[in-house]
Structure 1
Amino acid sequence: MENFDINRFWDRIKYLCKVNRITKKDFAARCGVTEQNLTSQANIGRTPKITQAMFMAETLGVSIDYLITGKDSTQIQNENEKLKKILAEIHSIASS
C-alpha cells in the first residue's frame, strides 16, 4: 500500500464538495464541526478522527477507503485477492 498522503485526502474532500455543490460551511455543519475548524485541519494537514472521517465519507457518498486511498473497497479487495494469488504461487514454487 502506498504511503498515506493527508494532502491528497483533503484534495479529495475539496473535489467531492465541488462536484456535489456542497459549500464548505454546509459540509462542516454536516460533519459536526465549524467551518473554521475544518479549514484549519485541512491547512495544517491534520488527519481527522475516524468518526469525523465517517461523517465526511457519508456526506460525500463515498467510502472512507476512497477518501484515504482514492480507491473504493472493491478495488482494494481485488488488489488483495491478486496479492494472495501471487503469494500462493510463490509459496508453491518455493515448496517445490
Structure 2
Amino acid sequence: MSAQDFWNRVRFMVTKNKTTQVEIAKACNISYNTLHGWILKNIYPPVIDAYNIAKTLGVTVDYLMAGKSTEEQKIEVQIKGVKDLLQHAETKLDKMMPTT
C-alpha cells in the first residue's frame, strides 16, 4: 500500500472514466499543479482530497488506498463465477448426451 499504488489506481480510473487529471482536479476543487505535484512526488493527498478524488472517480478511498474491490468489481466477480458454473454445467451435459 504505497502512494505510487494509490496514484496508479487513480490513473487507471481516470482512463476508465475517459476523463483527465485536469478535469478531476477541477471537479475536486484542487489546482491541477497541486494534483500533478502529488502524483509526481508520490505523495498521498490530504484525506478530504483523497475522498473527493475517489468520489469523483466513482470508487472508494479503500479502493484507491488498498485496491479493495468496489461494488461494481464485486458484481463482475460474481458474474464470472456464474458464467464459470454455467460453462461447467454445459460441459457435463454435453458429456451426458448420446453421440450419433
Same fold (TM over 0.5): yes
Instruction: Tell me what 1:35 maps to.
Output: 32
Count of aligned positions: 71
> Residue 8 of structure 1 is aligned with which of 5, 15, 24?
5
Unmatched segments (≥5 aa) in structure 2: 72-100
Residues 28 and 53, structure 2, Cα contact 8 Å, conserved in 1: yes
The alignment yields a C-alpha RMSD, in angstroms, of: 1.4
Identity of aligned residues (%): 28
Shift of residue 64, structure 1, vs aligned partner: 0.6
Judge conservation of contact 2:59–2:70 (CA < 8 Å) in 1. Answer: no
Map 1:2-81 to 2 at 5 A.
Answer: 4-72=1-69
Would the alpha carbon gap of residues 26 and 45 (structure 1) be closer, same or farther in structure 2, given more than 3 Å must change? same
- Please give the per-residue CA displacement for 1:29-55, whole angstroms capped at 9, x wherever unaligned: 111111111111110111111100110
Gaps in structure 1 of 5+ consecutive residues? 75-96
Residues in 2 aligned to 1:17 and 1:53: alpha-carbon distance in whole angstroms? 14
Give the aligned partner of residue 82 of structure 1.
none
For 1:22 and 1:29, locate their aligned partners in 2 and report how far apart those are by CA, in whole Å: 11
Whole-Å separation in 1 of the counterparts to 2:39 and 2:58: 20
The CA distance in 1 between the partners of 2:33 and 2:9, in whole Å, is: 19
TM-score (norm 2): 0.66
Higher Rg: 2
